[in-house]
Structure 1
Amino acid sequence: MRLATAEISLAALDHNFKRVKEFAPASQIMAVLKANAYGHGLVAIAKRLSSADAFAVARIDEALALRAGGLVKPIVLLEGFFEPQDLPILLANNFQTIIHHQSQLDALMNCDLDGMLTTWLKIDTGMHRLGISPEQFSKAYQTLSQCEHVNPNIRLMTHFACADDLSNGKTQQQLAVFSELIADKKQQTCLANSAAIIGWPDSHGDWVRPGLMMYGVSPMLNKVGADHGLAPVMRLKTRLISLRVVKKGEAVGYGSTWTCPIDTIIGVVAMGYGDGYPRHAPSGTPVMVNGKQVPLVGRVSMDMITVDLGLETDAKIGDQVILWGPELPVEVVAQCADTIPYELLCNITPRVDYHYIE
């Protein structure tokens, strides 16, 4: 019996990539594959995204895994490099690097390379995480331009803090800061993540970098993927492994945190925080059993959750249980668990079996 399985729909991935193109038809697409392609499988997803113009990952080990998997497209390191000794590795593997700090500029100026690196100069327009400050931009750009180890076609980037909220004016402020700074530069730009691709078309630039939306999940507040014409790529599913009658007043699970209000049948599901299901999901979080939505009850255990099936259930041991997927948006589960869909998708553990389907 196949138990905890992440079923990955490659057809849905294709559909979502086409939606990115429809949202930003004039932009090149940098497909974001960090964190194991948001929990969907780094190399398998990359191989399917043959129409992407480039890939983006957070760190060099992810980029090397793509090269080891046979991927030859340009790869952008969104966190850049961390040590000067990384630079020959970047050059040998045709990795492009974000430059976001003076220490990286110093390393480039003092390195000894046999070629030139393609760089993206990241400007902090208000996120206040990574990036050169607006006051530093002119000097940093000049330094990169004068570096013999840097391709003169320096690309320019920023990141939005509040693009998921269309009522927040900060995105327009950041866009204005960026536009003013680069007004006299004839270089390629990349500003828009998934939320900006959907909600802020003025930000699309020469490149867009879709992440969450490629996997069929909404990056916007209080929305689900279907609201944007996206299709969920992952269906996390498992099986019922036990059924038992529990009487009114009896408690279920660790800590006895949930007590039956009436006699009922409790289903035990082979899924827990050891598989990546959120331990803090409360009683009442929806779960799908045989196409019917039922509530999770009691605490999430390492290997199991319990659900209230009701006395009239026709469920039996071995029946399919869906934790999230097309039938139950991961955004809904995340909201119940007081978290975000990014975390749920990225927390899938290695013991979950991946099954890629057309």
Structure 2
Amino acid sequence: MRLAIAEINLKALANNLAQVKHFAPNCKVMAVLKANAYGHGLVKIAQHLSAADAFAVARIDEALALRAGGLTKPIVLLEGFFHQDDLPILLANNFQTIIHDENQLAALESATLDAPIACWLKINTGMHRLGIAPSQFESFYHRLKASDNARDDIKLMTHFSCADDVNDEKTTQQIALFDSLTDGKAQQHCLANSAGILAWPHGHGDWVRPGLMLYGVSPMLNGVGKEHGLAPVMRLTTRVIAIRDVDAHQCVGYGGRWCSDKPTKLAVVAMGYGDGYPRHARQGTPVIIKSQRYGIVGTVAMDMITVDIGDNGDNIQVGDEVIMWGPELPVEEIAQCASTIPYELLCNITPRVSYEYQE
């Protein structure tokens, strides 16, 4: 019996890319594939995003894995390069780099390269993470334009910090600052992440960077993907491996954190934090067995979770499928039950979960 499985729906992936283009019809699309394509499988997902214009990853090893998988589209390194010795690798593999600080710019200027590298200059407009200060923009821009190691078609970008909240004015302020700095620069611009694509159309620029929404999950506060026409790409399932009778007042699992108030039945399912399921999922976090919701009880363990199936215990058998999240049970809901975000749940899927790709 196969136990923990992540079913990856590639038709849903295509639907979500089409939705990106619906929301940003005049923009090029840079599909974000960092962190193993948000837990969905880096190379396989990239192979089914042929309609995207470029890919984006965080680090060079992710980019090299895409090239090893036969992907030829432009690839942007969102964290840029970390040492001057990386630059020949970037050039040989047609990688594009973010420039976000003085060390990177100086390393690029002083390198000896056979040809120039495509660069994106990142401006910190309020995220205060990566990116040059607004006061540095003119200097950095003209230094890049003057460098023989940077291609002339420098692209300009920033990153939103609060775009998931439509009531927060920070995004409007970031767009205004970016526009004021880049006014008159005949370069392509990239501002919008998934939340920016959905909620801030005046900040789309020439390129958009969809990440979470490609995988069918809402990037908005308290949102659900289907509200935006998105379809969940991942369906995480496992199986019932035991059914137990529990008497009233018996406590279940590590720490005895849940005790039954009446006689009931429990289904033990083969899933735990060893598979990437959140250990801090609260009591009552839902799963689905035979089209019906049941609540988790007890502490999530490394390999097993207990589910109170109550009076329906006679209808459930060892081997029955258990849906942990998917189209029937939004991962956004599970994230709320675990006091985290969907990004973390998707990225935390571990190697012992089997992947099945459905065309």
TM-score by length of structure 2 reads 0.99
1:34 aligns with 2:34: yes
1:350 aligns with 2:357: no
1:79 aligns with 2:40: no
1:292 aligns with 2:288: no
> What letter is aligned with 1:120?
W
Q: 1:149-298 counterparts in 2 under 5 A?
A: 149-298=149-298
Q: Distance in 2 between matches of 1:33 and 1:105?
A: 25
> What letter is aligned with 1:339?
T
1:14 aligns with 2:14: yes
Query: Where do 5+ consecutive residues of structure 2 fail to align?
Result: none
1:337 aligns with 2:338: yes
Q: Distance in 1 between matches of 2:129 and 2:24?
A: 26
Q: Distance in 1 between matches of 2:115 and 2:291?
A: 58
> What letter is aligned with 2:328?
E
Q: Distance in 2 between matches of 1:76 and 1:335?
A: 32
CA contact (8 A) 1:263 1:311 kept: no
Aligned partner of 1:318 in structure 2 is 319
> What letter is aligned with 2:356?
H
Q: Distance in 1 between matches of 2:102 and 2:350?
A: 37
CA contact (8 A) 1:215 1:232 kept: yes
**C-alpha displacement of 1:184:** 1.2
SS at match of 2:156: strand
**C-alpha displacement of 1:311:** 2.2
Q: Distance in 2 between matches of 1:162 and 1:350?
A: 32
Structure 1, residues 28-86: CA drift from partner, whole Å, max 9, x if none?
A: 00000000000000000000001110000000000000000000000000000000000
Q: Distance in 2 between matches of 1:95 and 1:109?
A: 17
> What letter is aligned with 1:335?
Q
Structure 1, residues 125-161: CA drift from partner, whole Å, max 9, x if none?
A: 0000000100000000011011001101100000000
Q: Distance in 1 between matches of 2:49 and 2:290?
A: 32
Q: Distance in 1 between matches of 2:199 and 2:316?
A: 42
Q: Distance in 2 between matches of 1:312 and 1:332?
A: 24
Q: Distance in 1 between matches of 2:262 and 2:216?
A: 38
**C-alpha displacement of 1:322:** 0.5
Question: CA RMSD of the aligned region, Å?
Answer: 0.5
CA contact (8 A) 1:159 1:193 kept: yes
> What letter is aligned with 2:155?
R
Structure 1, residues 316-347: CA drift from partner, whole Å, max 9, x if none?
A: 00000010000000000000100000000000
CA contact (8 A) 1:14 1:49 kept: yes
Structure 1, residues 77-99: CA drift from partner, whole Å, max 9, x if none?
A: 00000000000000000000000
**C-alpha displacement of 1:219:** 0.1
Aligned partner of 1:136 in structure 2 is 136
Structure 1, residues 164-214: CA drift from partner, whole Å, max 9, x if none?
A: 000000000000000000001000010000000000000111100100000
SS at match of 1:51: coil
Q: Distance in 2 between matches of 1:290 and 1:209?
A: 38
Q: 1:84-163 counterparts in 2 under 5 A?
A: 84-163=84-163
Q: Distance in 1 between matches of 2:133 and 2:338?
A: 36
Aligned partner of 2:329 in structure 1 is 328
Q: Distance in 2 between matches of 1:355 and 1:326?
A: 16
Q: Distance in 2 between matches of 1:52 and 1:301?
A: 40
Structure 1 segments, 4+ long, off by >6 Å, are none
CA contact (8 A) 1:57 1:76 kept: yes
**C-alpha displacement of 1:262:** 1.1
Q: Distance in 1 between matches of 2:154 and 2:308?
A: 58
> What letter is aligned with 1:264?
T
1:61 aligns with 2:61: yes
**C-alpha displacement of 1:289:** 1.0
Aligned partner of 2:46 in structure 1 is 46
Q: Distance in 2 between matches of 1:85 and 1:281?
A: 44
Q: Distance in 1 between matches of 2:334 and 2:31?
A: 25
SS at match of 1:278: coil
**C-alpha displacement of 1:357:** 0.5
TM-score by length of structure 1 reads 1.00
SS at match of 2:245: strand
SS at match of 2:332: helix
**C-alpha displacement of 1:312:** 2.8
Q: Distance in 1 between matches of 2:274 and 2:102?
A: 41
